[in-house]
Amino acid sequence: MPDHPKNILFYFAWQLNPVHFGVVIEQLERVIAQNKGEGKIYFLSCDGVLKPCHTNREGDPAKCTLCQFNNDTALSKYKGQVEVLKISDYNRQYSVPTFEYNSVPDIKKLRYKDVQIGYGAFSTYISATRNLEPIMDSEFREYFDKMLASQVMLTDVVLDIIEQKEIGSAYFFNGRTADTRPLYDICKTREIPFVSLEFAKKNDQEFFINEFFNCLPHDIDFNHQRVLSVWENAPESVEERIRFGSDFYEKRKNGIADSEKRNYVAGQDKELLPENWDASKKNIGIFISSEDEFAAIGDIFDKLAVFRTQEEGIHAILQQMGNREGYHFYIRVHPNLKAVKYSYVTRLQDFQGMYDNVTVIDPKSRISTYALIDYSDVTLAFGSTVGAEAAYWRKPSIILAACWYYHLDIGYKPKNVDEVVALLEQDLSPGSKLDAIKYGYYLSGAEKFMRPNAFNPFPISFMGKSTGLGHKHLTVLGSPLLYKLKLAAYKSILGLRKNKKLTIPRKGM
C-alpha cells in the first residue's frame, strides 16, 4: 500500500472464521506499526445487522453473538490505537429501494450507488448452494432481497464513514461477497487505495497472507503481472525454476494432492480412455470447470468469456460441428461437480443423445482426465487449469473463459463461436510450454509471493491432552485456553435459545 495521506479504514465481518480474522488482525498490527500516529485507524465490523452474511447464511442470532464476541476479544488489545466502529451506529432509517429481477442476467445488472450488489448477493448465494439457476419464487426473493438490503445498508454506512472520517485508504478481506462487495466497488470507483486480503494454506498450522492491491483476488491483469514478476525475480536459476514449475504439472497428473488435500484424479484409471475412442478421428477434449466458482465475480471475468455459460458454448459449437464426419467430442465433466445435482450439470449428459459424435464423461467416471489430454488432438477449457496443463503436455489448447493464465501465450483465445469452429478445423500447434511452466511455478508455492502469517494457528493442550488449535488474536487474559472455555460457555448458553433462522432457498432448474 502506498503512503496513507489520510485516515485508514479496516473492515471485516467474518469473525466466525478465526484464520481469516487472524489475517486481518495481522495486517492491522502491521499498519499500526507503520502508521506511527500519522493517521487515525478505524475498524468497522458488523454487530448483527448484516443478515444473512457469508459466514452466517441462515442469519442465526446465536452466531451473530459469537461473531461479536470474537470481534470484541481480538480488538480489545488495541484500545487507544484503533477506533472500533459498528454498522448500527451509522445505520439510518430509510426505505430500501425495490429491485426488479427475473433472471440471473437481471441480477447481475443490479446496482446501488455504483456498487454491484447483484454480483455480491449472487456470489454469496452460489457459495451456499452451488445453484446457478435458482427458481425465483417468493421464498428465493425473500432471502435474496435481504442480502440486497444489507448491501444497501453497508454501502450507505461506508460512504458516510469515508466522508466523516476522511478515509484515504482501506483494508478488507476478499471483496466479492455480499458483505464485502460494497467496500471493493466504493474504493474502486472513488479511487481510494485499498488492499484486498486473502490467504493460502500450506497445512492446518501454516498459512500465507496474499495481498491484492486495488483489485479483487481474482483480477486477471493483476495475477498475470505477478506471474511474470515472480518468475523474473525468482532467486533460483532458470533450470531450477523450470523444474519447480514442471513439478506442479507432474504432481497433478500423478494424483499428488495439493495443500487443500484436493486430488481430482483419485479413483481414475491413469490409462483409461472411453471405449469408443477412435484414433483415426480428430478427437477434441472439452473440459468442464466448476462453473459456480466464477459465476459471480463480476465483469472482469464475464467480459472475457466467449459464451455466457459452458452449456451454451458447447451447444453453439455442436450446432455447427455435431455429427460432422471425422470429428469426435469428449466432454469431461469436472470431478468436483459429482455432488451437484442441478440441471446445469445434469443437462450436459443430453449432448450425448443429441449427436453421434459426442461422448459425455460423468464426473464419477474412472476414465482418466490426463489420458484424455494426452490423446486428444486439441483441448477446449472453460477457465480450468487444464488449459495450461494441455500446453505443458504439448497439446493445442483453446481457452473459452477467463482465467489467471489468460494473457500468457498458452492457448488460442477465440472471440466467438465461428472462430472456435475455424480453429477446430485447423491443425493447431501447442502453446508455449515455458509460459505454462511459469504459471505452474507461480501456483506451486505461496511463499514465492506471499508473506508468512504471524497469526498462524498453533496447538494448545490442557493437562497433557490436546484441545485443538489456538489463535494469537483470540485469548482471554492472554490465554487461548481460557478463550476456548469462555467460547464454549457462550455456545452452551446460546444453544438453549430457540433462535429464528432463515431458510436458504435451494430450488433450482
Measuring CA to CA, which residue among 110, 114, 138 is closest to residue 123?
110
Q: Give kind and range of the element (H or E) at residue 284.
A: strand 282-287
Taking the mean position of all CA atoms in its chain, how far away is CA 387?
18
Q: What is the pLDDT of residue 377?
A: 98
The residue type found at 12 is: F
Q: 3-state DSSP call for residue 442?
A: helix
> CB–CB of 2/193 below 8 Å?
yes
Q: What pLDDT score was predicted for residue 264?
A: 73
Task: Give the pLDDT confidence score for residue 4 in this predicted structure.
Answer: 46
What does DSSP say about strands 282-287 and 206-213: parallel, antiparallel, or unpaired?
A: unpaired
**Alpha-carbon separation of residue 421 from 48, 84, 146 (angstroms):** 53, 57, 44
Which pTM was predicted? 0.93
CB 67 within 8 A of CB 56: yes
> What pLDDT shows up at residue 185?
98
Domains present along the chain, CATH in parentheses: 8-217 (3.40.50), 258-434 (3.40.50.2000), 458-496 (no CATH)
Q: In the block, which residue shows the cell 486430488?
A: 263
Per-residue model confidence as pLDDT tens for the chain (509 residues): 445 458 999 999 999 999 999 999 999 999 999 987 789 999 999 999 999 999 999 999 999 999 999 999 999 999 999 999 999 998 777 678 999 999 999 999 999 999 999 999 999 999 999 999 999 999 999 999 999 999 999 999 999 999 999 999 999 999 999 999 999 999 999 999 999 999 999 899 999 999 999 999 999 999 999 999 999 999 999 999 999 999 999 999 988 866 545 677 888 888 999 999 999 999 999 999 999 988 889 888 999 999 999 999 999 999 999 999 999 999 999 999 999 999 999 999 999 999 999 999 999 999 999 999 999 999 999 999 999 999 999 999 999 999 999 999 999 999 999 999 999 999 999 999 999 999 999 998 778 889 999 999 999 998 889 999 999 999 999 999 999 999 999 888 887 677 789 999 999 98
**Count of CB atoms within 10 A of residue 307's CB?**
18
